[in-house]
């Protein structure tokens, strides 16, 4: 990571937060991983109780049933790996691919009737925003408080 004390992020008047970012970097990466991973973890967990029903629901919308069977496991395992900081960059890549697929198969707001379009518009852009956070975690990796770091030190 950049040493923000020696390489400020911006003009001195716009760099006051750099000390917080550097001083709390490891803790903030942990918080970011948990917050980003939690939505996948809990969503995957809820689908695992009825994988067949979830897959059948997707198949009714023209999504290959195999994807419906894989998605809950990808979501849950990817979310858990992200929360724990285990194989973080690979988990992030998996979750980015999952999020793009989920967005494309379930939240193409422009294809929905007017009554549903606004809700799906929000879901679409939420997923885009989550993908941005995942990209940032891909760049940073798991951080100091991660299983990646623990395994690397062995």
Q: How would residue 3 be classed by pLDDT, with cut points 50, 70 and 90?
A: low
Predicted pLDDT at 6? 67
Q: Which residue has the tokens 């996948």?
A: 40
Q: pLDDT tens digit string along 96-149?
A: 999 999 999 888 888 888 989 999 899 999 999 999 999 999 999 999 999 999
Q: What angle do CA 87, 92, 96 make, to 5 degrees?
A: 155
pLDDT > 80? residue 2: no
Where does residue 91 rank: exposed (0-12), middle (13-18), buried (19+ CB within 10 A)?
Answer: buried
Number of H helices, E strands in the chain: 7, 0
Predicted pLDDT at 42? 97
The CA–CA distances, whole Å, from 20 to 16, 32, 89, 108 equal 8, 15, 24, 38
Which residue would you say has higher pLDDT here, 18 or 153?
18
Instruction: Measure the CA–CA gap between 136 and 154, rounded to whole angstroms.
Output: 26
Contact 148, 85 (CB under 8 A): yes
Predicted pLDDT at 11? 83
Predicted pLDDT at 34? 98
Q: Where are the domains of the chain?
A: 12-152
Q: Which residue has the tokens 């918080």?
A: 31
Q: Which residues of 26-53 are buried (b: 16+ CB within 10 A; e: fewer)?
A: eeebbebbbebbebbbebbeebeeeeee
pTM of the model: 0.88
Q: pLDDT tens digit string along 13-72?
A: 888 888 888 899 999 999 999 999 999 999 999 999 999 999 999 999 889 999 999 999
């Amino acid at each position: 990571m950049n040493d923000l004390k020696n390489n400020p992020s911006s003009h001195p008047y716009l760099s006051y937060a750099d000390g917080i970012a550097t001083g709390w970097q490891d803790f903030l990466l942990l918080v970011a991983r948990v917050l980003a991973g939690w939505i996948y973890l809990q969503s995957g967990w809820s689908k695992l109780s009825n994988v067949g029903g979830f897959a059948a629901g997707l198949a009714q919308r023209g999504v290959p049933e195999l994807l419906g069977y894989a998605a809950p496991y990808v979501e849950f395992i990817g979310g858990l790996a992200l929360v724990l900081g285990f194989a973080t960059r690979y988990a992030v890549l998996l979750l980015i691919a999952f999020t793009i697929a989920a967005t494309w198969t379930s939240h193409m707001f422009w294809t929905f009737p007017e009554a549903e379009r606004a809700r799906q518009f929000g879901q679409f852009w939420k997923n885009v925003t989550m993908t941005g956070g995942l990209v940032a975690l891909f760049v940073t990796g798991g951080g100091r408080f991660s299983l990646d770091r623990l395994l690397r030190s062995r």
